[in-house]
């Protein structure tokens, strides 16, 4: 897999996006179930998945079922932190997106829409 680097962007497209994703200025390349997407820097994987749902309709997750604060373990996923790393379990609400990160199993209730 080729090295993937952040790319600049124009940032959030609405006040709602600022509230959800912050005032991001770069997009990070990540893979979700084998497909490449670009998501806002400085966000958790759970927020990045929400971004992909709102912007691209690429995934569906039951966001209201998640605690969003690391108390229930309700967002456990499996992911590879870098392309060379082993797959490990982690909580999507506590894992920061990084270039090259790969989600190999979505949090419970999540599904791809492609
Ligand atoms: S959303 Fe509940 S532990 Fe992450």
Taking only the tens place, the pLDDT of each residue in 44-95 is: 999 999 999 999 999 999 999 999 999 999 999 999 999 999 999 999 999 9
Q: Which of 45, 68, 79, 90 to mutate to test the pocket of ligand 1 (most atoms within 8 A of CB)?
A: 68
Question: What CATH number should be reported for the domain holding residue 93?
Answer: 3.10.20
The Cα 92–Cα 3 span in angstroms is 23
Q: Which of 50, 73, 108 to mutate to test the pocket of ligand 1 (most atoms within 8 A of CB)?
A: 73
The Cα 103–Cα 79 span in angstroms is 4
What DSSP character marks residue 72?
A: S
Distance 90 CA to ligand 1 centre (A): 10
Q: What domain range includes position 41? A: 7-112
> Has residue 42 been placed in a domain?
yes
The Cα 39–Cα 108 span in angstroms is 21
The Cα 9–Cα 2 span in angstroms is 21
Distance 15 CA to ligand 1 centre (A): 25
Please work out, in degrees rounded to the nearest 5, the angle formed at the alpha carbon of residue 18 by the alpha carbons of 39 and 101: 20
Q: What is the pLDDT of residues 100-114, one digit of tens each?
A: 999 999 999 999 999
Domain total of the chain: 1
> Has residue 1 been placed in a domain?
no
What DSSP character marks residue 44?
A: B
Residue 1: predicted pLDDT: 52
What is the atom index within ligand 1 of the atom nearest the CA of 91? Answer: 4
> Has residue 38 been placed in a domain?
yes
Distance 20 CA to ligand 1 centre (A): 16
What is the atom index within ligand 1 of the atom nearest the CA of 73? Answer: 3
């Amino acid at each position: 897999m080729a090295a993937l680097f952040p790319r600049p962007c124009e940032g959030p497209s609405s006040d709602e996006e600022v509230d959800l994703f912050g005032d991001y200025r770069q997009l990070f390349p990540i893979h979700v179930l084998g497909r490449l997407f670009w998501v806002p820097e400085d966000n958790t994987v759970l927020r990045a998945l929400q971004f992909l749902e709102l912007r691209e309709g690429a995934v569906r997750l039951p966001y209201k079922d998640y605690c969003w604060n690391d108390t229930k373990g309700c967002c456990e996923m499996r992911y590879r932190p870098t392309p060379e790393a082993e797959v490990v379990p982690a909580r999507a609400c506590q894992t920061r997106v990084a270039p090259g990160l790969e989600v190999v199993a979505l949090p419970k209730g999540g599904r791809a829409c492609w």
